[in-house]
Structure 1
């Protein structure tokens, strides 16, 4: 199957450089809407079987623009939510205080701000991938709309890795509205 992985359009908190995490109601900016429209246009020639999206507003609104262009409905999927950042959500990047990774732990296993770790995100994405493999065939195309860190974990899993294998440098600059397409055999 072909998975088209789309990071949501720019949100007001992206613009303000705030950590969003699982904050549910952060809307798109006008640029974010334009990015969603750009994704719709880029995928117009594809025959999507389904559009799955995080149930957070910024992702749902992005997905709705694309799905409407395909005559499809968005399927809200809570397992595609952004990593939960606990007490850090809503802080601006310039308000963050550097913390060291605890001894003996991989950075992907730390629950920053009392939220989720990347290992937790991977644990909720694995069953989602199993569901997709059972539902869609090799020739099907599916759009997945999610968030930067969640998509980093998802791509790592699709490539056969674990949360410890995330290439932070490769995916650190994945811009809002960017689409990454991956062929996946469902294994």
Structure 2
């Protein structure tokens, strides 16, 4: 009987240690994921994602892929800021988002303006293309390029879905954004105001 009680006691200790280990590992994993996939500029993202009917997790995923949250980022192609908008795209978007003020490309370094117009652009693309990956291709490669791909039966059989993405850079970009999106969705929950509800 004593031996049986000793075995039960050892099993209880082992179970408690396993539970404790799981708790600490889970906490460290959450900390790692939140460090790797941060919610920077959360007030602006929440506001603009909600206004444009976008999933905030997607907005964060694009920002992470485009600039890794560096508001001063500038690409070789001249794309600027957090969501890497080109001056030409920015000028075109200003005709869609009426404002009393005419902005210049230097304004793209402002997180508030960059995210406002980047979210507007994403919203236009997600409304134009029914497939998430297609919209992301257009964000990276341009609307004209993607429309040409959709008209090519070797690239798109139905004119809606891209069976392949011809540009390697765009293919890699879409994969990165969608992987980011998957991880943001696993790591955070958002309310209807685009705010994180995680502790």
Please state which band the TM-score falls in when normalised by the shorter chain. under 0.3
| TM superposition score normalised by structure 1 | 0.27
More helix by share: 2
| TM superposition score normalised by structure 2 | 0.26
Larger Rg: 2
Q: Looking at both structures, which has the greater relative contact order when contacts are Cα pairs under 8 Å and sequence separation is at least 6? A: 1
